[in-house]
Structure 1
Amino acid sequence: MNIVMAKIKKIIAQGLFQNLRKIFYMFVSEIPIKAIINQPLQAMGKGRVLLKGDVTFGYAYSKDFYSRCGYIEARSKSAVIEINDNTFVNNSFTAIADSSSITIGKDCLIGTDVQIYDSDFHGLAPDERRSTSGESQPVHISDNVFIGNNAIILKGCRIGVNSVIAAGSLVCNDIPDNVIAGGVPCKVIRAL
């Protein structure tokens, strides 16, 4: 009986801790988010975050659930982040749209620690690195895409319908429909 009570107390304590963290991040966020939020999510910026349909952030039985949060930033007024219906985003997700857009289609699966950026955020020339914000280009992730843990998707990339991006990949070019792609830089491995 003592083991059962200890497990019940642990479950209650973990739930209370996570709910307090979610409330804290809701208060510090600048953009209200209406989604299924299991892991705390901070939404910042002057732009728009559009969640269309059921979008889920976080999973209790995956790494970093209690220790980190998701982060979404539509930095400027022209920035837009759109995530569509039935997309699941795992823990520690980051998406930052500087002055362009990030679009994630419906029915996508996104692993832990995935990062998506529409900009370099700094000029690349040595004398511009601290004075310019860099070039922004839209990122488009099509419907039913599966992105593995720790993948990074950079500005200007399009990932095609049904494609799979392997864990740890660096996507810096377009990926066609219906393929498995992976590596640094990410390249097509084979067709699905």
Structure 2
Amino acid sequence: MISILRKIMTTLIAESRGRGLYYTILMNLSHLIGILRAGCNKLIYFKNIKSSIFSLQANSRIEAFSKHATIHIGKFVFIRKNASIRVDHFGELRMAEKVFINDNCNINCVYKITIGKHTKIAPNVSINDHDHNYKSSTGDHLIKGEIKIGENVWIGSNVVILRDTIIGDNAVIAAGSVVKGNVPANTLYLNKREKSYIQYA
């Protein structure tokens, strides 16, 4: 316990030197409020969420809309503002320790999504493990597939990750990419984009 307190004090002193005392207090107050919000969210969905300490910043929400939905959140997961995480039906969402999710991200899970430890997700990322079955008017209206994101992955802004996708450890997904299929470990993935101009006048 003493070693933990010593580490906290050392970190706060170092932060104060870099940011200034006032901004260090503001930042850590924001973190504390995020941890309290996460705790309240966990109380609301106490049957669905299994977690250690994590932070849920302003206007972010985690929702479970089925008694079968399961959400596992590792320690020190940090979810910034305006993120929407929804798990429905028999969906299983697993986020390992120290995952970072930035502003305005959307995660929709009805089957299985796994995010490995130390993975960082930039703003406006969308992760969906299902599509709407627009070809059939009968049966299940969703087509489901697993998404597995490895450890220490960096996902750039405005990325869309679709069902049946596996991203290997240490991969980097370039901003604006649409990802479906296998991304090998230790690679940079990007969609090639070409400019085109069509004269209309």
Alignment TM-score, normalising by the size of structure 1: 0.70
Partner of 1:3: none
Residue of 58, 61, 73 corresponding to 1:39: 58
User: What's the CA shift string for 1:77-126, capped at 9, x where partnerless?
Assistant: x211110111111011111111x110000010100011111100x2131x
How far 1:131 moved relative to its partner?
Answer: 6.4
Report how far residue 35 of structure 1 moved.
Answer: 1.4
Match of 2:133 in 1: 123
**Partner residue, 2:147:** 139
Residue of structure 2 equivalent to 1:154: 162
The one-letter code sitting in structure 1 at the alignment partner of 2:70 is R
Structure 1 residue corresponding to 2:117, chosen from 106, 110, 114: 106
Go from structure 1 to structure 2 and tell me whether the alpha carbon gap of 1:131 and 1:158 turns closer, same or farther (over 3 Å shift): same
Aligned residue type for 1:90: N
Structure 2 residue runs of 5 or longer lacking an equivalent are 1-21, 194-201
Whole-angstrom distance in 2 between the partners of 1:36 and 1:119: 27
Counterparts of 2:124 and 2:87 in 1: how far apart (Å)?
18
Count of aligned positions: 155
1:26, distance to aligned residue in structure 2 (A):
4.2
**Equivalence for 1:169:** 177
CA separation of 1:26/1:52 partners in 2, compared to 1, >3 Å: closer, same or farther? closer
CA distance in 1, matches of 2:173, 2:118: 15
Runs of 5+ unmatched residues, structure 1: 1-6, 59-64, 186-192
* Contact 1:39/1:57, CA 8 A, preserved across alignment: no
* Superposition deviation, residue 51 in structure 1: 0.3
Contact 2:102 2:121 in 1 (8 A): yes
The alpha-carbon deviation at position 184 of structure 1 amounts to: 6.5
* Aligned: 1:97 with 2:119: no
Supply the RMSD in Å over aligned alpha carbons.
2.9
Q: Distance in 2 between matches of 1:85 and 1:97?
A: 19
Letter in 1 for 2:56: I
> Is 1:72 the counterpart of 2:85 in the alignment?
yes
> Residues 170 and 184 of structure 1 are in contact (CA less than 8 Å); yes or no, is this contact kept in structure 2?
no
TM-score normalised over the length of structure 2: 0.67
Q: Which has the larger radius of gyration?
A: 2
Aligned with 1:73: secondary structure? strand
CA positional deviation for 1:40: 2.8
- Aligned-pair identity in percent equals 23
